[in-house]
Structure 1
Amino acid sequence: MYDLTGFQRDLLYVISGSEEPHGLAIKEELEDYYEKEIHHGRLYPNLDTLVEKGLVEKGQRDRRTNFYTLTRRGRREISARQEWESQYLDGEIEA
């Protein structure tokens, strides 16, 4: 996961927390988080990159709607990232 951008990592996390989300659902979730509009020209090329890297699978719900799921490798990468992060966080972070 070291070669992913922060945006691509965020895409992985959103996909992992949803059941077969479609592109617009992912877009809306990230817009809520970033508090700004995510353009299609940013979203879909990054989703395609995750598919090409074997971290995400793209399925087709109907002619116009694709959905995304994590691959086994994608789940392993998230798990490894969480382990890496946890070594730098001792306990809960206070807000």
Structure 2
Amino acid sequence: MYDLTGFQRDLLYVIAGQEEPHGLAIKDELEKYYESEIHHGRLYPNLDELVDKGLVEKGTLDKRTNFYTVTRRGTRELEDRRQWENQYVDL
């Protein structure tokens, strides 16, 4: 996960926190967090990169809508990241 951008990490967290979210659901969650509009030209290339890295799988709901799920590898990466964060931040 060290080679992901902060935005890509946020995408991974949002996908992990929902059940098979589609792109617009992910976009809505990120817009709430960032308090600004997320453009499709930023969202979808970053989702595709997570798919290419094997952290996320993309499925098809219909001809126009894809959904995303975190892979086993993606889950391991999230768990490792959480352990790494916990050694620095004790909440």
Alpha-carbon shift at residue 15 of structure 1 (Å) = 0.1
Matched, 1:38 2:38: yes
Aligned partners of 1:12 and 1:89: how far apart in 2?
20
Percent of counterpart pairs with the same letter?
A: 78
Larger Rg: 1
Q: 2:69: which partner in 1?
A: 69
2:83 and 2:7 map into 1 onto residues whose CA distance is 19
Q: Which residue of structure 1 lines up, in the alignment, with residue 16 of structure 2?
A: 16
Question: Residue in 2 aligned with 1:84?
Answer: 84
Distance in 1 (CA, whole Å) between partners of 2:89 and 2:47 is 29
Name the structure 1 match of 2:52: 52
State the alpha-carbon separation in 1 of the partners of residues 89 and 61 from structure 2.
40
The RMSD of aligned alpha carbons is 0.4
Shift of 1:66: 0.1
Aligned residues: 91
User: TM-score, normalization: structure 2?
Assistant: 0.99
Q: Which runs of 5+ in 1 are unaligned?
A: none
TM-score with structure 1 setting the length: 0.95
Which position in structure 2 is the counterpart of 1:6?
6
Gaps spanning 5+ residues in structure 2: where?
A: none
